[in-house]
Structure 1
Amino acid sequence: MWIKEVWQGNFLPEVCVLDKIMQRYSFVAMDTEFTGFLHVPSRNASEDEHYHDLKYNTDRMRLTQIGFTLFDDEGNIGGTWQFNFRKSPGVSFKKNQRGGLNLEGVDMNLFATTFRNLVKSHHGIKWITFHGLYDMAYVVKLVTGSPLPDSSMEFIESLGNIVGRVYDVKYIAKYCRGLLCGEMGLERMANMLGVCRLGIAHQAGSDALLTACVYLEMKEVYQLIEERFEGFLYGVSTKIEKNYELVTICCPPQYLQHLTRCSPFNSICVGLDQLSICNI
Structure 2
Amino acid sequence: MPAATVDHSQRICEVWANNLDEELKRIRHVIRKYNYIAMDTEFPGVVARPIGEFRSNADYQYQLLRCNVDLLKIIQLGLTFMNEQGEYPPGTSTWQFNFKFNLTEDMYAQDSIELLTTSGIQFKKHEDEGIETLYFAELLMTSGVVLCEGVKWLSFHSGYDFGYLIKILSNANLPEEEVDFFEILRLFFPVIYDVKYLMKSFSKNDLPMMKWLLLELTSSHMNQIHQIRISKR
What is the TM-score normalised by the length of structure 2?
A: 0.69
Q: Distance in 2 between matches of 1:40 and 1:176?
A: 34
Q: Distance in 2 between matches of 1:22 and 1:141?
A: 23
Q: Which has the bigger relative contact order, CA under 8 A and spacing at least 6?
A: 2
Structure number with the higher helix fraction is 2
Quote how far apart the aligned CAs of 1:201 are: 7.8
Q: Deviations over 1:209-239 (max 9, x none)?
A: xxxxxxxxxxxxxxxxxxxxxxxxxxxxxxx
How many residue pairs match? The answer is 183
Q: 1:85 aligns with which of 79, 93, 99?
A: 99
Q: Deviations over 1:34-75 (max 9, x none)?
A: 11102468xxx6111111111001100110000111111112
Q: 2:24 aligns with which of 15, 32, 37?
A: 15
What is the TM-score normalised by the length of structure 1?
A: 0.58
Q: Distance in 2 between matches of 1:194 and 1:50?
A: 24
Within 5 A, what are the aligned runs for 1:149-160? 149-160=175-186
Change over 3 Å in CA distance of 1:121–1:23 after alignment to 2: farther
Q: Which runs of 5+ in 1 are unaligned?
A: 97-102, 179-188, 204-280
Q: Distance in 1 between matches of 2:148 and 2:96?
A: 19
Residue 148 (structure 1) aligns with: 174
Q: Quick one: which amino acid aligns to residue 106 of structure 1? A: I
Q: Distance in 2 between matches of 1:170 and 1:28?
A: 16
Residue 244 (structure 1) aligns with: none
- Whether 2:125 is the aligned partner of 1:111: answer no
Q: Which runs of 5+ in 2 are unaligned?
A: 1-5, 51-55, 107-122, 205-213
Change over 3 Å in CA distance of 1:29–1:19 after alignment to 2: same
8 Å CA contact 1:65–1:84 kept in 2: the answer is: yes
Quote how far apart the aligned CAs of 1:123 are: 4.1
> Which deviates the most, 169-178 or 122-131?
169-178
Q: Distance in 2 between matches of 1:6 and 1:22?
A: 17
Q: Distance in 2 between matches of 1:14 and 1:77?
A: 17
Q: Quick one: which amino acid aligns to residue 200 of structure 1? A: H
Percent identity of the aligned residues?
A: 33
Q: Quick one: which amino acid aligns to residue 135 of structure 2? A: L
